[in-house]
Amino acid sequence: MFRNTVVRAQSLVRANLQPALVRNIATSQKLFAHGSTETDEQFDQRYENFFNQKDLDGWDVRRGITDLWGHDLVPEPKILAAVLRACRRINDFALAVRVLEALKDKCGNKTEIYPWVIQELRPTLAELGINTPEELGLDKPELYTQSVYDL
């Protein structure tokens, strides 16, 4: 009981001795307004320039893809074409196919986006000799069986 009284007295003394930290609303808002905003065209151009660099190695390409995939958007076909060219430049066919698989996942339940992007990428895919996951049979699990409820 005496201990509880001492603990409460200590907390009251600390609260009265330490000044209250009151934050000014204007400075709080200013803290979140850092950096310049980038337009969509500048964003696209930045990633396209990054993936078109001739001296990229496998680690740089993967880092760029991870950074690109971290944004809440589906990349434009011209960015994806640059990514696929970078994958072929480092001779990593599997990474190129994984990019297409991740693209399908990134499109989510919007069924009209993925076919449009593949349609736009078709000349690049033909030029580089890259197959889509559907052409390789990777769109279904290996041991896929039709559900009895779909019969």
Residue type present at position 79:
I
| Number of domains present in the structure of the chain | 2
**pLDDT tens per residue across all 151 residues of the chain:** 767 776 677 776 676 666 655 555 555 555 665 667 889 999 999 999 999 999 999 999 999 999 999 999 999 999 999 999 999 999 999 999 999 999 999 998 888 999 999 999 999 999 999 999 999 988 877 777 776 777 7
Measure the CA–CA gap between 99 and 63, rounded to whole angstroms: 13
Could you tell me the residue range of the domain that residue 103 belongs to?
40-128
Q: Residue 62 in 3-state DSSP?
A: helix
Q: Quick one: 19 and 79 in the same domain?
A: no
| Residues in Cβ contact with 82 at an 8 Å cutoff, skipping those fewer than 6 apart | 47, 48, 50, 51, 52
Alpha carbon distances (Å) from 71 to 83, 85, 114: 15, 21, 17
Q: Say which CATH number the domain at 58 has.
A: 1.25.40.40
Contact yes or no for 97/138 (Cβ under 8 A): yes
Is 142 part of a structural domain of the chain? no
Q: Quick one: 71 and 119 in the same domain?
A: yes
pTM of the model: 0.71
